[in-house]
Structure 1
Amino acid sequence: MKRREFGLLAGAASMALLSGTSRGLAQDMDLKPTSGETVFMRGWQFRTDVVQSNVERYNQELGGHVDYATVTGDYPALMEQNLMANAELDMLYANPSSAARYFDAGWIVPMDELPNYEQIKADMLPNLLDAWSYKGKQLGLSYFASTRGTIVVNLKAYEEAGMSPADYPKNWDELYDQIYALQEKGVERPFLPHWFNEWFGISWGFVLEVMNRGGTIADPETHEPTITTDEDGPYYKTLAAWKKLWNSGMVPEEVFTYNEAGYIDAFASGRYIFSPQQIYDIATFNSPERSQVAGQTSLLPFAGQPWGIIDSGIYLMSNRERSEALTEDVKKFTSWYGYKDHTGDFYVAKRWMQENMLFSGYRSVMESPETEERIKAAIARPEDYKAILDVYQNTPFPKGVWSVVWSEEFNPWLKENLASFLLDDGDIVEMLEAMTAKIEELNDKYGI
């Protein structure tokens, strides 16, 4: 799979053209609701205070009737149940993998049907547009885009161990070598792996490391399994590295029980030196209110091998039964929330950038001076600004296992079996062969 290049480092001419466009022309559609009916919005549990206040602004300033609520638990499964039941659900968060499944089931309306779609499309970063498209349709609008698996570094502990940024590892093999070297120096917890107990935890940890090593797991077009069992391949090497790490005793078993908040807090405690994390959580780790490593969290730069995979959230419109007038209101609110507000401002996207450093799929947001200033305020060293953009630009997207109808079935299977593989001291070849068999079974199930 080719690396996705996002083009955030536009030239000076591009910046000159785009500066000031984050508040520009209003949308090519009237955003004021007219049906008087309720639009039901649902999302996962992240900064719900921000979401609620965004919705309240829409309701107050445009006379909307948007009902927002947070969904806790196994979000993809719960959303699928609601969509299947034709429940009161009009606009929702999703990852691209879920969106592909929902689209094949006929549960969502693609964004191509928005009256202002061409305007939206023109401002999108091309490869995010590709990541969020399926079977020729753009499934959702930009909530956030990020690199999950950015290797963050506790600089203070790293330097106390006699190391410096000049010693940063350039790939996964070098990283593991350095982890054991640090252990020999007396560092108890050099590494916090991506093995936590969320649907995007250990399974995504495997996907990201395999892709960083040059693998694909499944072909991005045919979705046929591409897993090999040779010891020099990215699949075997990843599991061999994991088995050695687990058997070393440096990773506490509690990591398998962490939710995302616990995983973030574990690194923020200062107990670890390296960890694959969300790129936007560099802001969290450098915040004195949230972290014991504030002002000391850097990241491994891109040096030929990518780090992590593109993780993103999109806003979807459901295809449930409702009046034509309400459907139009759903389109209006989705465009207001996922693109520009009624003043022509990227209000929601800019707020996510300023409050949580969530990257956007829109050029006008990512290439603005305000975004550059925000990122620079969140880093430990001036040179980390370029490092963040370089890592992000070179992050791959796992289209082979995400842009396919069976993604949300393969992922929980992979999560459960990878945890068992480590805890039960499983056989590497058997685990890889089981992955291949599972993908073949799913392809057969869906006629792929």
Structure 2
Amino acid sequence: MRLLAPLLLAAVLLGGCAGLGERDTAAGAGDGTGPMTFASGRDTTGYIQPLIDRWNQSHPTQRVTLLELPEAADEQRAQMVANLQARSDRYDILGLDVVWTAEFADAGWIVPLDRSMFPLDKFLPPVIDTATYRDKLYAVPYTSNAGLLYYRKDILDREHLKPPTTWAELRDQATRLGRKYKLGGYAGQFLPYEGLTVNFAEAVQSAGGQILSPDGTKVTLDLDKARTGLEFLTGGVREGWIPKEALAFKEEESRLAFQRGELLFARNWPHAYGPATRSPIGGKFAVTRLPGLDGPGSSTLGGNNLAISAYSKHQKSALEFIRYFTGLENERRVLTEGSFPPVWSELYDDPALIKQYPYLPVLKQSIMSARQRPASAKYDQVSLVISSAVSDALNFRKQADETVADLRQQLGEIIRTP
């Protein structure tokens, strides 16, 4: 079997259009079943282990051990990449940020899956694209995400105003009401990291543009639209309705500032909703879609997918665990116990869940109109270049025109580099 193992692994990785599930595959001895390790980001709400416990109770010979990686996505990726580059079989199931699918698939670190093994027709359509690379399914959507605009409903109601749907309305309300109520106007995630890349991408998309082609092979950055999106952000800093301290914000800092009642508007992910209801502004806020240049804007699609390591010796068990873990009832628990957006479409239309989570209809609209980040195997480099360039503009080290021109050139160099 030791002699056959490399051949079996090659069959998994080079098996043409066939995916795992169409035949027995095992990157090692045995029949592909056995105990597994599930490597994922830190479970901050404690809901994952009970789901694993349910599996373990009924699958004593295929027990799953949760290996919690750091909370920061960059650190998670670094640990996974180190493991996979070493061809280690320590990780069986990988919890991947949606932007990693292309990179991991292109490197041969995860195996293609048989679409017929999963109820993909029940999922929100955009989330399936995040798990696909070159027309093959390499992961299974597990949670989704889209940016939302959090706003102080009590203040807007007092002023007889509706939440902004355009940048002009956001600018006007953030400026006037910020001064009147002594609040910061608007904040997102503006520290130079992946969050700033996301905020910039949303601004470009909401101005009608895009950064790369969907397959990540071409730079499609229209200079006028990119400049318009960037000037929405730099203008806010210059005019003061984006507080300067927001330039150091990541998700947590912007969440806490809004919860403390320091901001009128904030861009954040849905996970910030639950904590806000238990904060001093509980009952005083609501959420809506991100505004855009001429109407509702476009969010960036987030979330996590589950994939199987190409070096796992228990791929058959891993496949069955993923089918269990992404089933309807567990997806319901993803929302009710984990406070994360599920991928099953019908959960967003459930009246009982909407009563408990009033933001679900808005979140569904945001996900359906969101755009996937480019499916590029070089996404990590792309994100670093974008966040660095945009940070320079926000801190007025470069003008918007120069920033977007330089950015297009740098992105072209990355995409063209073998």
Q: Calculate the TM-score normalised by the size of structure 1.
A: 0.77
Secondary structure, aligned partner of 2:320:
helix
The CA deviation at 1:216 is: 0.8
**1:377 alignment counterpart:** 356
Q: Which of the residues 169, 180, 184 maps onto 2:175?
A: 180
RMSD over aligned CA atoms reads 2.9
Residues 32 and 317, structure 2, Cα contact 8 Å, conserved in 1:
yes
Q: Are 1:298 and 2:295 counterparts?
A: no
Following the alignment from structure 2 to structure 1, what is the Cα–Cα distance between the partners of residues 289 and 389? 31
Following the alignment from structure 2 to structure 1, what is the Cα–Cα distance between the partners of residues 45 and 36? 17
Q: 1:221 to 1:141 in 2, by over 3 A?
A: closer
The CA deviation at 1:234 is: 2.6
Task: Give % identity.
Answer: 17
Question: Which structure 2 segments of 5+ residues have no match?
Answer: 1-20, 24-29
Q: 1:363 to 1:184 in 2, by over 3 A?
A: closer
Q: Which of the residues 53, 57, 62 maps onto 1:56?
A: 53
Q: 1:245 to 1:119 in 2, by over 3 A?
A: closer
Q: Which of the residues 69, 72, 83 maps onto 1:71?
A: 69
The CA deviation at 1:151 is: 0.9
Following the alignment from structure 2 to structure 1, what is the Cα–Cα distance between the partners of residues 371 and 196? 17
Deviations 1:234-265 (A, max 9, x none): 31122222222223345455434444333322
Which letter does structure 1 place at the counterpart of 2:106? Answer: D
Which letter does structure 1 place at the counterpart of 2:51? Answer: N
Following the alignment from structure 1 to structure 2, what is the Cα–Cα distance between the partners of residues 222 and 145? 21
Following the alignment from structure 2 to structure 1, what is the Cα–Cα distance between the partners of residues 177 and 214? 38
Which letter does structure 2 place at the counterpart of 1:418? Answer: V
Residues 151 and 276, structure 1, Cα contact 8 Å, conserved in 2:
yes
**1:398 alignment counterpart:** 372
Q: 1:302 to 1:77 in 2, by over 3 A?
A: closer
Q: Which of the residues 219, 227, 230 maps onto 1:225?
A: 219
**1:105 alignment counterpart:** 107
Q: 1:195 to 1:353 in 2, by over 3 A?
A: same
Q: Which of the residues 328, 349, 367 maps onto 2:316?
A: 328
**2:8 alignment counterpart:** none
Q: Are 1:359 and 2:306 counterparts?
A: no
Q: 1:249 to 1:314 in 2, by over 3 A?
A: same
**1:191 alignment counterpart:** 186
**1:15 alignment counterpart:** none
The CA deviation at 1:82 is: 2.1
Which letter does structure 2 place at the counterpart of 1:348? Answer: N
Following the alignment from structure 1 to structure 2, what is the Cα–Cα distance between the partners of residues 269 and 306? 26
Residues 175 and 241, structure 2, Cα contact 8 Å, conserved in 1:
no
The CA deviation at 1:335 is: 1.9
**1:10 alignment counterpart:** none
Following the alignment from structure 1 to structure 2, what is the Cα–Cα distance between the partners of residues 259 and 305? 23
Which letter does structure 2 place at the counterpart of 1:262? Answer: E
Matches within 5 A, 1:308-323: 308-320=299-311, 322-323=312-313
**2:16 alignment counterpart:** none
**2:144 alignment counterpart:** 145
The CA deviation at 1:100 is: 0.6
Following the alignment from structure 1 to structure 2, what is the Cα–Cα distance between the partners of residues 53 and 386? 28
Following the alignment from structure 1 to structure 2, what is the Cα–Cα distance between the partners of residues 40 and 366? 31
Question: Which structure 1 segments of 5+ residues have no match?
Answer: 1-26, 341-345
Following the alignment from structure 2 to structure 1, what is the Cα–Cα distance between the partners of residues 301 and 123? 16
Q: Are 1:83 and 2:84 counterparts?
A: yes
Following the alignment from structure 1 to structure 2, what is the Cα–Cα distance between the partners of residues 336 and 118? 11
Following the alignment from structure 1 to structure 2, what is the Cα–Cα distance between the partners of residues 242 and 347? 41
Q: Calculate the TM-score normalised by the size of structure 2.
A: 0.82
Aligned length: 385
Secondary structure, aligned partner of 1:360:
coil
Residues 213 and 305, structure 1, Cα contact 8 Å, conserved in 2:
no
Q: 1:386 to 1:142 in 2, by over 3 A?
A: closer
The CA deviation at 1:135 is: 0.7
Residues 348 and 360, structure 2, Cα contact 8 Å, conserved in 1:
no
Q: Which of the residues 439, 442, 446 maps onto 2:411?
A: 439
Residues 300 and 370, structure 2, Cα contact 8 Å, conserved in 1:
yes
**1:244 alignment counterpart:** 235
Which letter does structure 2 place at the counterpart of 1:359? Answer: P
Residues 155 and 298, structure 1, Cα contact 8 Å, conserved in 2:
yes
Which letter does structure 2 place at the counterpart of 1:408? Answer: D
Following the alignment from structure 1 to structure 2, what is the Cα–Cα distance between the partners of residues 415 and 220? 19
Q: 1:78 to 1:241 in 2, by over 3 A?
A: same
Higher-RCO chain (CA-CA 8 Å, sequence separation at least 6): 1
The CA deviation at 1:333 is: 1.7
